[in-house]
Amino acid sequence: MKSTVKFIVFFIVSAILVAADQITKIAAAHFLKGKDPFVIIPGVLEFRYLENRGMAWGMMQGAGIFFIILTCAILTAVIFFMVRLPYKKRFYPLIAFAAQLFAGGIGNLIDRVGLKYVRDFIYVKAINFPIFNVADVCVTCAISLLVILIIFVYREKDYEQLKSGKEKS
C-alpha cells in the first residue's frame, strides 16, 4: 500500500508539472512567436519565444536523437530510483524532487519528439541568462535541491537504506 501511495504522489506531482510546462509553452508559442518580447520587469525579465534544437545555451544543435535517448535513460533511472526508494517521511523530499526531474524530462521530451525542438520563453535579461522554460526550471530546481540534501541532510545510514531499497528503523 505504501508503495502505491508513493507512486500516486509521484505521478500526480509529475502530471501537474508537465501540464504547467505544456500549457505555458502553448501560450508562449501562441502569444510570443514572431512578436517582440513581452517585458515583465524592464531590463530584468521578459518572455521571448525561442525554438531550441539543442540543449542549454543552445549547445549541440541538431542532436535531437541523442537528447531523446539520453532523456529516456534518465527517466528510466528516475523510475528505478522510485521503485527502490523506501516510503518514509525522511525520504518524502526525494519523491518530490524525483517527480520534478521526471516532469522536466517528460515536458522537454514531448517537445523534442513532437516538434523536433524545445519551446523556450523565459529570459532573465539582467544577467543575459539563456532562454528557458518551466521544464528546465523543474530539472534545475530538482537537481539543485537534491545536491543540498546530499551535502547537508542525508547521512551514511540514509544512503545504505537507499542502496538496499529496504526500510530500516
Catalytic site includes residue 111: no
Catalytic member of 21, 111, 136, 158: 136
Q: Which three cell numbers stand for residue 55?
A: 540543449
Give the separation between CA 113 and CA 14, rounded to whole angstroms.
Answer: 19
Active site residue 158: no
Q: How far apart are CA 38 and CA 18, in angstroms?
A: 23
**Distance between CA 86 and CA 166 in Å, rounded?**
6
Catalytic site residue from 21, 36, 111, 120: 120
The edge-to-edge listing of strands for the beta sheet with 118-124 is 38-41, 45-52, 118-124
- Alpha helices (runs of H) in the chain, residue ranges in sequence order: 2-32, 64-84, 92-115, 134-152, 156-164
Are 142 and 75 in contact by the 8 Å Cβ rule? The answer is: no
Residues labelled catalytic? 120, 136
